[in-house]
Amino acid sequence: MAGYALRESLRRKVLLVVLLLTAAFLVLYGVGTAQVYGEVESFALDEGEEVVDARAIIGSTLVGLSMFATLFLGTVLAVFLTLGAIRGDAERGLLQPLVVRPLGRATFLLGRFAGAAAVCALYVILVFAAAVVITGSIGDWWPDRLVTPGLALAAGVTILTGLSLLGSVFLSATANGIAVFMLFGAGLTAGLLGQVGEALNSPRLESVSQAAAWALPFEALYQSGLSALTADIGGVTGVVVELGPFGGAQDFGPLLWPWAVVYLGLIAAAAIVGFRRRDL
């Protein structure tokens, strides 16, 4: 079933559209990066003695922004590959010929998830890697950690894929698409609240933001990934670096990854129970 889902993902035009948009994004990102570094280099020469590492600030900010764009594009891909996977496909008559086969609904669901998640995770890893290479080759700045941010993005879109698949069991395709994007927006808003709370020195806002990020771990993963970009930067540069948008760089600690796995397990369990009870 994963093979079927993988082929479906690859042969649907949505992937082509996303790839074209991604190519446009990466070209614009490259042009923007070249422009910014050009301006910063002339600025740094005028200053003479460097107090902060402008190259690191610009590089990490740009890669941080690209992480947000990558997460957003990955979310679009995840949603459009799964938004109608169960109820939508059942209403169109696509699901019944497959579900009557002797493979079990749980297997079917997990297969659909595996196919879509594989495509989305691979996609965000490649786009993130491309953004890092573009930034590094133009600005000569490389993130302190490469694997953690990439994996955090991949895990984030995997969770969003799971949420979208779970929603597809209960909601029509349109309603599910709206619901998942609203959840994504809720995560971003929570991150933004945290930044506002930090700026206003409001522990309550920061607590709300943290709780929301744990409840929607794709946001916590995104923030942890951002944090890993500049894990080793210290001094004045470390103070100046403020990555974002929609959630500052923040390490959520070692429990985040096990929680993400448990969260996915809970999503899978809810989806399987819901799917088993659904009349088709």
The residues binding other proteins (CB under 8 A) are 1, 4, 7-8, 11-12, 92-94, 96-104, 277, 279-280
Q: Which is closer to other proteins, CB of 49 or CB of 279? A: 279
Q: Which is closer to other proteins, CB of 8 or CB of 41? A: 8
- Distance in angstroms (rounded) separating the CA atoms of residues 26 and 7: 25
CA nearest to 163, candidates 180, 151, 187, 188? 180
Q: Are 221 and 229 in contact (CB under 8 A)?
A: no
Q: Which is closer to other proteins, CB of 4 or CB of 43? A: 4
Q: Nearest approach, Cβ of 233 to other proteins (angstroms)?
A: 48
Q: Which is closer to other proteins, CB of 168 or CB of 237? A: 168
| CB neighbours of residue 17 within 10 Å | 13
Secondary-structure percent of the chain, ordered helix, strand, coil, rounded to 5: 80, 0, 20
DSSP 240-262: H----SSS------TTHHHHHHH
Q: Are 194 and 177 in contact (CB under 8 A)?
A: no
Q: Nearest approach, Cβ of 101 to other proteins (angstroms)?
A: 4
Q: Nearest approach, Cβ of 115 to other proteins (angstroms)?
A: 13
- Distance in angstroms (rounded) separating the CA atoms of residues 177 and 87: 12
Burial of 201 (0-12, 13-18, 19+ CB in 10 A): exposed
Q: Nearest approach, Cβ of 103 to other proteins (angstroms)?
A: 6
Q: Nearest approach, Cβ of 274 to other proteins (angstroms)?
A: 13
Q: Nearest approach, Cβ of 122 to other proteins (angstroms)?
A: 20
Q: Which is closer to other proteins, CB of 12 or CB of 269? A: 12
Report how far apart, in Å, the C-alpha atoms of 222 and of each of 78, 121, 247 are: 16, 13, 8
Q: Nearest approach, Cβ of 100 to other proteins (angstroms)?
A: 5
Over the range 260-272, which residues count as b (16 or more CB within 10 Å of their CB) and which as e? beebbeebbeebb
- Distance in angstroms (rounded) separating the CA atoms of residues 79 and 75: 6
Q: Which is closer to other proteins, CB of 13 or CB of 204? A: 13
Q: Which is closer to other proteins, CB of 102 or CB of 254? A: 102
